[in-house]
């Protein structure tokens, strides 16, 4: 999973087992409370660096690290990957929501979504976001939401993820006017379409020059990448269209499909480029030109890889 390492502490020989943040933590003005086991308990919360708990690699050791103060909260979860459940480090209690113990697999899925769509504060995950995810898509959501309510929240998740992705791709800087975002995106789409025309023109010239098929396919892959990005951004622009009554699950799976295709095309570009370079079949002028696009392409691939992971987690829970 592509997760911010500042939010997790990894054991030397296995997956992450400590998470900074907890879905049961809430702030109401100056008051801080814990909702574990569906209760409401006033607490004193402090953010503790996971490095203080490097030796905590087993649920059986939790008792040694728990606080003597019943109202103390470290804002730290222990993921017991052997037992499969999550624990509050400060109180050595299983984390339970809606009368269901939260599973490690649910937190893993929530982490992938939350770290892709929500900003953390001081290295601590958004607790409200974790809780909302678990109550919507985790096992604790059973009997909590109607199908219509679930679809509404899923639509909101998809919109947040897709909009955040569009902001990153287009380099948009926040503005007070929502209309500025759409204007910026339309202008960026025009740039992408000009790029598509550039790749198409280049292909035509190379065909006339009689270059080998692998080189033509490489340039065509770059053109396809530009097309996929424009298709994705156009869908983002359509999300808030009042006349668009598309099923949010259909939009979700469409975006998953586009994102996966972007990753596939990037893999093809990498393979064809390496093959052409090894055979010294990539003209120096084209090689230099493509190198200018390389970093931007890698960044785009990384962003879509993160997005498809987050979207897949939603899709899996709604199947």
Model pLDDT for residues 22-72, shown as the tens digit of each residue: 889 888 777 888 989 888 889 998 877 777 887 888 888 899 889 999 999
> Does residue 189 form part of some domain?
yes
Q: Same domain for 216 and 139?
A: no
Q: Same domain for 193 and 120?
A: no
Q: Which of 98, 129, 144 is the last residue of a domain?
A: 144
Instruction: Return the pLDDT at 190.
Output: 92
Whole-number Å distance between alpha carbons of 300 and 221 = 14
Strand 72-73 relative to strand 44-45: parallel, antiparallel, unpaired? parallel
At 245 the three-state DSSP class reads coil
Instruction: Return the pLDDT at 142.
Output: 55
Q: Same domain for 133 and 68?
A: yes
**For 8-23, what is each residue's pLDDT tens digit?**
444 433 446 888 888 8
Q: Same domain for 52 and 172?
A: no
**For 76-111, what is each residue's pLDDT tens digit?**
999 999 999 999 999 999 999 888 899 998 888 777
Of the candidates 270, 253, 269, 255, the one whose C-alpha atom is nearest the C-alpha of residue 303 is 255
Q: Same domain for 261 and 186?
A: yes
> Does residue 160 form part of some domain?
no
> Does residue 154 form part of some domain?
no
> Does residue 149 form part of some domain?
no
> Does residue 299 form part of some domain?
yes
The mean predicted confidence, pLDDT, of the chain is: 80
Q: Same domain for 128 and 176?
A: no
Q: Which of 144, 178, 193 is the last residue of a domain?
A: 144
Instruction: Return the pLDDT at 262.
Output: 92
At 74 the three-state DSSP class reads coil
Query: b or e along 300-318 (b: 16 or more beta carbons within 10 Å of the residue's beta carbon)?
Result: bbebbbbbbbbbbbbbebe
**For 151-199, what is each residue's pLDDT tens digit?**
777 777 778 888 888 888 888 887 656 678 888 999 999 999 999 999 9
Instruction: Return the pLDDT at 28.
Output: 76
In this structure, are residues 265 and 273 in contact, taking their beta carbons and an 8 Å threshold? no
Percent of the chain with pLDDT over 90: 28
Q: Terminus-to-terminus CA distance in the chain, angstroms?
A: 21
The DSSP secondary-structure symbol of 121 reads B
Residues 6+ apart with CB under 8 A from 57: 11, 17
Query: b or e along 173-210 (b: 16 or more beta carbons within 10 Å of the residue's beta carbon)?
Result: eeeeeeeebeebbeebbeebeebbeebeebbeebeeee
On the question of pLDDT at 215 being above 90, the answer is yes
Instruction: Return the pLDDT at 315.
Output: 60
Q: Same domain for 195 and 275?
A: yes
Burial bucket for residue 266 (CB in 10 Å: 0-12, 13-18, 19+): buried
Q: Same domain for 183 and 135?
A: no
> Does residue 21 form part of some domain?
yes
Q: Same domain for 134 and 46?
A: yes
> Does residue 159 form part of some domain?
no
Q: Write out the two tokens for 87.
A: 């624990």
Q: Same domain for 247 and 137?
A: no
Total of domains in the chain = 2
Q: Which of 109, 144, 179 is the last residue of a domain?
A: 144
Q: Same domain for 138 and 172?
A: no
Residue range of the domain that includes 49? 5-144
The residue behind tokens 């500042």 is 6
What average pLDDT does this structure show over 287-292?
87
> Does residue 163 form part of some domain?
no
Q: Same domain for 314 and 172?
A: yes
């Amino acid at each position: 999973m592509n997760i911010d390492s500042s939010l997790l502490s990894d054991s030397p020989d296995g997956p992450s087992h400590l998470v900074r943040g907890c879905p049961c933590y809430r702030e109401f003005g100056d008051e801080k409370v814990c909702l574990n086991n569906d209760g409401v308990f006033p607490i004193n919360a402090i953010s503790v660096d996971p490095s203080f708990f490097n030796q905590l690699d087993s649920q059986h050791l939790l008792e040694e690290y728990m606080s003597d103060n019943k109202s103390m909260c470290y804002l730290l979860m222990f993921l017991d990957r052997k037992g499969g459940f999550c624990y509050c480090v400060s109180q050595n209690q299983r984390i339970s929501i809606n009368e269901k113990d939260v599973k490690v697999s649910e937190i893993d899925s929530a982490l992938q979504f939350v770290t892709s769509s929500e900003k953390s504060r001081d290295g601590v995950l958004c607790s409200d976001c974790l809780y909302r995810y678990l109550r919507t898509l985790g096992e604790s959501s059973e009997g909590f939401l109607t199908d219509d309510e679930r679809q509404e929240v899923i639509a909101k998740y998809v919109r947040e993820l897709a909009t955040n992705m569009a902001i990153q791709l287009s380099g948009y800087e926040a503005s007070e006017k929502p209309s500025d975002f759409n204007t910026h995106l339309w202008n960026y789409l025009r740039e992408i379409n000009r790029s598509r025309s550039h790749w198409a023109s280049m292909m035509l010239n190379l065909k006339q020059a009689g270059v080998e098929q692998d080189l033509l396919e490489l340039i065509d892959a770059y053109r396809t990448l530009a097309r996929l990005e424009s298709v994705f951004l156009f869908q983002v622009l359509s999300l808030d269209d009042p006349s668009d009554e598309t099923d949010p699950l259909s939009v979700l799976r469409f975006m998953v499909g586009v994102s996966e295709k972007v990753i596939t095309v990037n893999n093809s570009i990498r393979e064809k480029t390496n093959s052409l370079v090894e055979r010294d079949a990539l003209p120096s002028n084209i090689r230099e030109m493509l190198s200018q696009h390389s970093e931007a392409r890698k960044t785009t691939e990384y962003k879509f890889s993160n997005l498809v992971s987050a979207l897949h987690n939603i899709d899996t829970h709604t199947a």
